[in-house]
Homo-oligomer: A and B are copies of this chain.
Amino acid sequence: MSDTYRRIVLASRPRGWATVDDFRLEVVDMPPLEDGHVRVRNHFLSLDPYMRGRMNDAKSYAAPQALGETMIGATVGEVVESRDPGFAVGDRVAGYLGWAEYGVSAAGGLTKVGTHPLSAYLGVLGMPGMTAWYGVNKILEPKPGDTLVVSAAAGAVGGVVGQLARRAGARVVGIAGGAEKCRYVTQELGFDACVDYKTAADVKALAGSIRTAAPAGVDAHFENVGGDVLNAVMSLLNPFSRVAICGLISDYNMIPGDIPKSAIRNPGLFLTARCRMQGFIVTDHLELWSEGLRALTAEVASGRMKYRESIANGVESAPAAFIGLLKGENLGKQLVRLKDDG
């Protein structure tokens, strides 16, 4: 084990779009290990849209990322040194060790993972999968015959949402950017239809395309994106419909003080559709983690649940890969591989 490791810290807070210059690569000394703590070599780092919010110095559901500190983030890896009786060298663990090749955590901050590939515990068997499971089963509750729409359908969360909803008997319409993603969503993930939002000139045209794919209207919508997508889908909501707000990535790089693209332009639809819209953060519901993970693991083990990964190599690649994620360049779960044979 080297005496040093590499990490990415937040160098500056972006105003509007984040750039690679908001991050800095550092080589730092390996710290000593205290009692009750565990040292992990990270094999994979998860990149997720929520990280953009943490880069702001704004009130939110979580504290902002500190400047000059390791960027936060979920990781999977292998224990290389342990001063806690619960963990041994070689244990495969998930944690929140951030954008770094190595990390140290109190034992309570780590979870031993199962026998699926390590990277799955950052995707379908990790926070994105749980997010999909919670939104579908605890908010949207699709019934057989319902039409469910999900945006960012080719992403880590959206792909699981659609597959879970189809299993529940819903007609599933994905929304994604580009023909390649739409092909993936329908042909590989098995959605009933997919709308390429990039082909729509405006919100009205987008609503028209979704209407064609959802001729009976929309009973449930899982929102990862916001902006025109949210307003277009809202115009198609059926009576007693549900909307789960998981993310509004189209607003994450807005200039503070601007009107968000996701501003809800026709609130009267809450009345005409008697719709229920609910924002959620999956980590508020840790008491359901084992129930959800059991369901997702069964889907993955059976081979029914499909997923893909977009992998960048080396911690130095994380900033560009993260900005690519915010721009929708990834297909499936965006990861950074931190170990050559990871």
Which residues of A pack against B, CB within 8 Å? 59-61, 226, 230, 239-240, 245, 247-248, 251, 259-260, 262-281, 284
Contact = CB atoms under 8 A, between A and B. Distances in A.
A56 to B, nearest CB: 11
Contacts of A264: 263-264, 267
A174 B230 CA distance: 31
Given A265-B260, A276-B276, A278-B276, A61 B248 contact: no
Contacts of A280: 274
Contacts of A277: 270, 276-278
A141 to B, nearest CB: 14
Nearest to A252: B268
Given A239-B61, A267-B248, A278 B275 contact: yes
A253 B2 CA distance: 71
A260 B268 contact: yes
Nearest to A240: B284
B274 A61 contact: yes
A117 B52 CA distance: 60
Contacts of A284: 239-240, 274
A284 to B, nearest CB: 6
Of the candidates A247, A271, A275, the one having the most CB atoms from chain B within 10 angstroms of its own CB is A271
A272 B56 CA distance: 13
A270 B279 contact: yes
Contact of A247 (B59, B271, B276, B281): B271
A280 B259 CA distance: 27
A251 B263 CA distance: 16
Given A61-B239, A239-B61, A267 B273 contact: no
A1 B249 CA distance: 67
Nearest to A262: B267
Nearest to A242: B278
Contact of A230 (B267, B269, B279): B267
